[in-house]
Amino acid sequence: MQTILSIQNMTFNFPNKDIFSDITLSVYEKDRVAFIGANGCGKTTLIKLILGKQTSNKGSINLLKGISIGYLSQDVIQSETNTLYQETLLVFEDLISLEKTLQEMEQRIASEPNNQVLINDYGKKQNYFIEHHGYDYHYLIDMFLSKFGFKKEDYDRKINTFSGGEKTKMCFAKLLLSKPDLLILDEPTNHLDLSTIEWLEEYLKGYDGTLIFVSHDRYFINSLANKIYEIENYHLNYYKGNYDYYIKEKRTRYETQLKAYNNQQKEIARMKRFIEYFMPKPRFVSRVKDRINKLKHMKIIDKPAEEEKAIKINFHGEALLGKKIIEFEHLDIGYNENSVLIHDINALVLGKDRMAIMGDNGTGKTTILKCIIGSIKPINGKVIHYRDNRIGYIDQHHFDIKGSISLVEDYMSDFPMMGEKAIFNHLSKFNFFDDDFFKSLDMLSGGEKMRFALSKLILKEYDVLLLDEPTNHLDIITKQAIIRALDSYEGTIIFVSHDRHFVDEIANKILYFHNGKSYFHNGNYQDFKEIEKGLFELDMPVTKIELKKEIKKKNDNISTCKLEEKISKLETKIESLKKRQFDEEVYLDSKKMKEIDDEIALSETELERLSEEYLHRT
């Protein structure tokens, strides 16, 4: 198996920050490699080094000569003055040119049916054309663009009229259509619809090339990765398997190293006691020197780092197990009566329920949360509140976290009775330390904003939590901490999420929106997906059936010439075999004679079949 990428003893650092120290890795043909690690550990930097956008301080990065590399960036778009369809067609420029060549050759063959050189050349070119989707690239464009949310009416729009998010999606579709030998993806599931993520996952499972990706989506990693490289403490740790394997193996390695470390520390302490006790005694000098020498040359085993620097969250809320909390009764939601997003929602939320609201972007998930808090009125039906619960709400789209004041100043404004020391202690539970306390709110990253919002939410002691994409921008470790915290929360949770692992860990009810309808299910996402298989089938455009007929018709016409070529070759072969029957070495050897007789019989049967097919075509 070919080595696609190798990194040898590479070190990289910024002027004031170490990133990698002496790392080595190998990626082979058809590998699916996931880079994982906490936010800020250097995953994106590693990708930039591989792409040559950064230069290492030491070591080497080697890519297989001649391979094509695909990376999701705005550089994928060649011209923003192109229409969406014109830009996408650029992927198939060579095929479109070859298609014209084949059409010209077909006309020549019609007038030169005995030109064997031309027919052979045509056959080779046509095989290449078929193998590289020459007859179905229009279908592929339709499928990929539709999967990324584009409609037929978007095809003639110029690219400069699309939003930034839409441009990213069209780059993604174009990148996948180009099928590079090495596909590199950085957080590929960010901002994609749930159905697109499901489709992308299935597509990448069968991808012909090699895949390297960075992701915080545990479900996605588990489904695709056959290798995991974890970036931790400036080093790469290699795990051969998916995420489930990584979790088990990491624990095993931790326990093994901790045991070895403890045993070595005991041995060091024992030798030091021996040296200290026997050093003053002359007759033990040689033995003392031996112990000193052993200590000097001992390879010290590092104490393994704690498995997680997890945030410590403890939500509070009133336990109302099994009591009615909120009910949706024949609820229609949307912007007005002429633009209803979802019709006839019916669902009951009980005390301590964890209900996940799922579906594609724009289907109404955030809208129903706003209906619950009353900031948007239902079009029809009712949201029934059975008791006066204290409701806490985090809206992923409108974090009220901005300004030039520091985190501590913001806390003092909202919680004046806490005091500075209490604020430091509380924020440290959410992995804010030292200089973080004095960062301005405007300097916070998306993940930091979510942690900061959660830190304030906890102090309110709400009975019902409404969370809109609570895991966005969070790394896997922080997600696990949130899962543990929400699991121990006594109150009720209604949350929007496209993070399938998070939903499976938390939810006991699913409210799923699809094509204007709602589906309510008692259980987690995996159960729901199994029951409602029809919602998750990979859609195939209707035009594919017509396309198949068109391809078959064209192939039937084109292959007549190739059929003549096969018949001619078979006739030549039979004639040659019959001549060999008169060779002395054959007719004197009954075994060889039988082999040739059998081959002639098979060839004549095939010739008869091809002749009938030729007569049928003509």
Only one residue has tokens 């198996």, namely 1
Q: Which residues contact 416 (CB under 8 A, 6 or more apart)?
A: none
Helix (H, G, I), strand (E, B) or coil at 590: helix
Q: What is the pLDDT of residues 486-500, one digit of tens each?
A: 887 888 999 999 999
The CA distance from 272 to 279, in Å, is 10
Tell me what pLDDT residue 541 has: 43
Q: Which residues contact 299 (CB under 8 A, 6 or more apart)?
A: none
Tell me what pLDDT residue 549 has: 52
The pLDDT averaged over each successive group of 10 residues in the chain (618 residues) is: 93 84 93 90 91 91 94 88 95 92 89 87 88 85 91 94 89 94 92 88 92 94 95 90 93 92 93 90 88 91 70 62 92 87 95 94 92 93 92 72 86 88 86 86 81 81 89 83 82 93 94 94 92 70 46 54 74 84 76 82 80 68
Domain-wise residue ranges, the chain: 246-297, 324-401+444-536, 565-617
Q: Which residues contact 590 (CB under 8 A, 6 or more apart)?
A: none
Tell me what pLDDT residue 542 has: 40
Select from 359, 38, 32 the least CA-distant residue to 220: 32
Mean per-residue pLDDT over the chain, rounded = 86
Tell me what pLDDT residue 164 has: 84
The CA distance from 471 to 451, in Å, is 9
Q: Are strands 509-514 and 354-359 parallel, antiparallel or unpaired?
A: parallel
The pLDDT > 90 percentage for the chain reads 46
Tell me what pLDDT residue 322 has: 81
Select from 163, 84, 83, 87 the least CA-distant residue to 361: 163
What's the topology of domain 324-401+444-536? Answer: Rossmann fold (3.40.50)
